[in-house]
């Protein structure tokens, strides 16, 4: 993993193995989407409305965003390892709370607490940036998220099967035991990678203006936020489209849900293979253009009357390719604006990405009503993808103007 020191698996005196970082990012992604095919069944179980049950996605993302604001500076001050381990421990407790919840209110409360697993995804990226330069970090983050993409690829499919064989509780038991395994591996394999900042926690938080006043940080951040925003809108709206527009059962829904993750896997493979040669900016630009093209084709297909599960989810895989190129490269760009604030930048950038995603997820849930078809969701995803293109173009033009 490191350019200098050899890696010994499950030996925290050496740099962490890449599989450990993949698992840390993967458990966060799995928690986000494994239960999506169960949302209609959970709505019936708790005797509530779909819009309320759909908040299990939106509030998870919102809490995820709030946590990322604080976890970056805290990890820059106290280190990556203790924050990750405490986060995983709280996640296990919250997952048990979701399983035992007697009503939807209690479930949603524990679902918010479950979002603490965000520390795993945020700090796995910061660990990579601790060890590598910008373009090399983009490549490594690409490989981490490429491996991570396998998790959400199989997660909904597995969740749909578990729902049909048992019920929605089985999905959360799966999350609990997966989290337990990741906790043990992290305890054994992940040593400390951050150099102590020497600042107090208060001083660490006062570093935020250094990032917030950087146009380059905002350019990368917004490109990532708008790019991922399309995916989060998909998380909020696709279960409704699948069940109410295309009449898919949980198992079928889970299989179709894998489409964006397949594309995301490929996009991250391109990043891992070519980011160091092509450069971060070009990778982000091409990724945003690919995602926008995918959504434009989806709009044309739906308005032409060719809408079907195959076409709808097929075009989502194109968006996945674009996002796989955008998110890891834009993240590496964000973390490289101020390398000494890598944890803070990862947390702040992640908070903006996830916070915007929570809003788009809730918006998709609100606009998708019986009779609306899939059109509101596709329009939301198309607009956010185009805004991502504008954001990275602004970064590129600024760098050319300044001669960077």
Residue with tokens 């930048």: 345
Q: How far apart are CA 21 and CA 149, in angstroms?
A: 13
* Alpha helices (H) along 215-249: 215-240
Enumerate residues 6+ apart whose C-beta is below 8 A from 369. none
The values of phi and psi at residue 34, to 5°, are -65, -30
Task: Tell me: pLDDT of 304 over 70.
Answer: yes
Q: Which residue has the higher pLDDT, 360 or 177?
A: 177
What phi and psi values does residue 227 have, to the nearest 5 degrees? -65, -50
pLDDT band per the 50, 70, 90 thresholds, residue 4? very low
Share of the chain above pLDDT 70, in %: 89
What are phi and psi for residue 166, nearest 5 degrees? Answer: -125, -105
CATH architecture for residues 18-192+200-402? Up-down Bundle (1.20)
CA–CA dist 221, 238 (Å, integer):
25
Candidates 5, 22, 7; CA nearest to 186 is 22
Kindly report, residue by residue over 254-276, the tens digit of the pLDDT. 778 777 878 888 887 887 778 77
Locate all alpha helices (DSSP H) within 132-168, ordered by sequence: 134-165
SS3 content of the chain, % helix, strand, coil (to 5): 85, 0, 15
pLDDT of residue 382: 95
Least confident interval from 108-112, 149-153, 259-263, 331-335: 149-153
Q: What angle do CA 288, 294, 300 make, to 5 degrees?
A: 135
Band (pLDDT 50/70/90 cuts) for residue 1 is very low
Q: What is the pLDDT of residue 152?
A: 60
Banded model confidence at residue 66, pLDDT cuts 50, 70, 90: confident
Give the model's pLDDT for residue 2: 43
Q: When comparing pLDDT for 197 and 246, which is higher?
A: 246
- Residue 93's CB is within 10 A of a number of other CB atoms, namely 13
Host H or E run for residue 99? helix 80-100
Longest dimension (CA), the chain: 61
Highest mean pLDDT among 60-64, 251-255, 305-309: 305-309
In the chain, domain spans: 18-192+200-402
* DSSP summary character for residue 7: P
pLDDT at 174: 94
Q: Is 49 exposed, middle or buried (0-12, 13-18, 19+ CB in 10 A)?
A: exposed
Tell me the average pLDDT across 107-129.
86
Contact 158, 258 (CB under 8 A): no
| Greater pLDDT, 65 or 247 | 247
Whether the CB-CB separation of 349 and 327 falls below 8 Å is answered with no
């Amino acid at each position: 993993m490191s350019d200098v020191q050899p890696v010994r698996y499950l030996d925290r005196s050496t740099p962490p193995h890449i599989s450990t970082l993949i698992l840390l990012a993967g458990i966060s992604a799995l928690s986000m989407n494994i239960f999506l095919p169960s949302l209609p069944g959970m709505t019936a179980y708790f005797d509530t409305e779909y819009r309320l049950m759909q908040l299990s996605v939106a509030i998870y993302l919102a809490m995820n965003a709030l946590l990322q604001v604080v976890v970056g500076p805290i990890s820059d001050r106290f280190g990556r390892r203790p924050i990750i381990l405490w986060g995983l421990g709280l996640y296990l407790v919250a997952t048990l709370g979701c399983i035992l919840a007697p009503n939807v209110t209690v479930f949603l409360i524990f679902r918010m607490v479950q979002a603490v697993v965000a520390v795993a995804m945020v700090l796995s990226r910061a660990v990579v940036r601790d060890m590598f330069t910008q373009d090399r970090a983009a490549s490594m983050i690409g490989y981490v998220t490429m491996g991570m993409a396998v998790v959400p690829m199989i997660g909904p499919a597995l969740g749909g099967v578990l729902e049909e064989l048992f019920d929605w509780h089985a999905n959360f038991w799966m999350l609990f035991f997966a989290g337990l395994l990741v906790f043990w591996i992290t305890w054994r394999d992940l040593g400390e990678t951050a150099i102590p900042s020497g600042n107090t926690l208060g001083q660490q938080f006062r570093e935020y203006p250094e990032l917030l006043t950087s146009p380059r940080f905002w350019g990368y951040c917004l490109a990532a936020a708008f790019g991922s925003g399309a995916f989060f809108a998909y998380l909020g709206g696709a279960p409704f489209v699948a069940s109410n527009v295309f009449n898919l059962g949980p198992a079928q829904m889970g299989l179709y849900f894998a489409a964006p993750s397949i594309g995301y896997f490929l996009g991250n493979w391109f990043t891992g293979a070519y980011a160091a040669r092509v450069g971060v900016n070009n990778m982000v630009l091409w990724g945003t253009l690919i995602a926008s093209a995918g959504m434009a084709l989806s709009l044309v297909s739906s308005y032409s009357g060719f809408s079907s599960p195959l076409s709808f989810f097929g075009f989502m895989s194109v968006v996945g390719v674009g996002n796989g190129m955008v998110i890891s490269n834009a993240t590496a760009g964000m973390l490289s604006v101020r390398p000494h604030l890598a944890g803070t930048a990862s947390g702040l950038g992640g908070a903006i990405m996830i916070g915007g995603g929570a809003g788009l997820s809730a918006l998709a849930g609100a606009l998708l009503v019986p009779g609306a078809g899939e059109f509101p969701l596709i329009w939301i995803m198309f607009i956010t993808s185009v805004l991502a293109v504008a954001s990275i173009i602004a970064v590129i033009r600024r760098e050319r103007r300044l001669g960077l």
